[in-house]
Amino acid sequence: SVTLDTAFFRRFLARATQVFVAEAAHLTDLDAAIGDADHGANLKRGFTSAGRVIADEAPATPGALLTAVGMHLTNTVGGASGPLYGTVLRRMGKVLGEDPVVEPPALGKALTAAVASVRRLGDSAPGDATMVDALAPAAEAYTSALADGGDVVAALDAAARAAHQGAEATVPLQARRGRASYLGERSIGHQDPGAASSAMLITALYEATDT
Ligand code: ADP
Ligand code: MG
Ligand code: MG
């Protein structure tokens, strides 16, 4: 299996950055359809500059690493997604505490708490066609895969699949939160950009299990 140490979470963030750079145009296209065409650029800029911050600060534990990146995203990324993703990572960092190695159930608690924080900050629920539609099923799939006896790799694989399904499932939904909600029924038929990027983020977590 894999050890959830600081190196694991560094691989996760590096992979997420790579994907957001590669998919920036795609994410921005999704946002162009129902928003203001900046989602890909926001994430590309935020994660790329976070990489410089963690290279300088060299946080020593998974919790400190996620907290540092979360604070950076909240403070520097304009747009709704900066504070929302900032909250995801800061909340995960807080739940993981100062342990140098995270046990698989603790990662489940961190993911579940992160979803609750985003829902609270965004006043959003599953079905509103937001990032919550990818993140909530991911946290649930992770937790139930572990409960079924799966190891962390299997659980993160299940989480990534659930996140992608959740992102796909936003297509027929009407957006109830964020800029896309201003379109009313015209938001139907489009994938939510934040749900798409959240599926990429959870996939990066799964791919970090590949050492
Ligand atoms: P902005 O809409 O400010 O330009 P981004 O384009 O970077 O910010 O991010 C938009 C994404 O943020 C949406 O696709 C959605 O997933 C997410 N989002 C926006 N508002 C909310 C909210 N209230 N709750 C949850 N997610 C939200
Ligand atoms: Mg936008
Ligand atoms: Mg914007």
pLDDT band at 101 (very low <50, low <70, confident <90, very high): very high
Residue 184 clears pLDDT 90, i.e. is over it: yes
- Tell me the C-alpha distance between 72 and 95, whole Å: 18
Q: For 32-81, write each residue's pLDDT tens digit.
A: 999 999 999 999 999 999 999 999 999 999 999 999 999 999 999 989 99
Band of residue 173 on the pLDDT scale cut at 50, 70, 90: very high
Ligand 1 center from residue 21 Cα (angstroms): 18
d(CA 8, CA 158): 18
Ligand 2 centroid, distance to 31 Cα (angstroms): 6
Nearest CA to ligand 1 atom 13: 194
Q: How many CB atoms lie within 10 A of CB 193?
A: 32
Check pocket membership of 195 for ligand 1, CB cut-off 6 A. Answer: yes
Confidence (pLDDT) at 166 = 99
The residue-averaged pLDDT of 72-98 equals: 96
- Tokens 């935020």 map to which residue? 46
Residue 28 pLDDT greater than 90, yes or no = yes
Residue 132's Cβ-count burial label (10 Å; 0-12, 13-18, 19+) is buried
Instruction: Give me the pLDDT at residue 202, please.
Output: 99
Nearest ligand for residue 197 CA: 1
pTM: 0.98
Atom 23 of ligand 1: nearest residue by CA position: 122
Evaluate whether 82 touches 46 at the Cβ level (below 8 Å): yes
Percentages of the chain per state (helix, strand, coil), in multiples of 5: 75, 0, 25
Task: Please name the residue that has the structure tokens 């590309």.
Answer: 44
The pLDDT, as a whole number, for residue 1 is 86
Residue 157 Cα to ligand 2 midpoint, Å, equals: 28
DSSP code, position 5: E
| 31 C-beta closer than 6 A to ligand 1 | yes
ipTM of the complex: 0.99
Give the pLDDT score at 78.
Answer: 84
Tell whether domain 4-207 is in CATH 1.25.40.340. yes
Return the domain boundaries, the chain. Answer: 4-207
Q: Which residues contact 39 (CB under 8 A, 6 or more apart)?
A: 27, 28, 30, 31, 79, 81, 193, 194, 197
pLDDT band for 185, please (50, 70, 90 cuts).
very high
- Best residue among 171, 177, 181, 182 to mutate for probing ligand 1's pocket (most ligand atoms within 8 Å of CB) is 177
Contact yes or no for 142/108 (Cβ under 8 A): yes
Residues 145, 149, 151: CA angle, nearest 5 degrees: 75
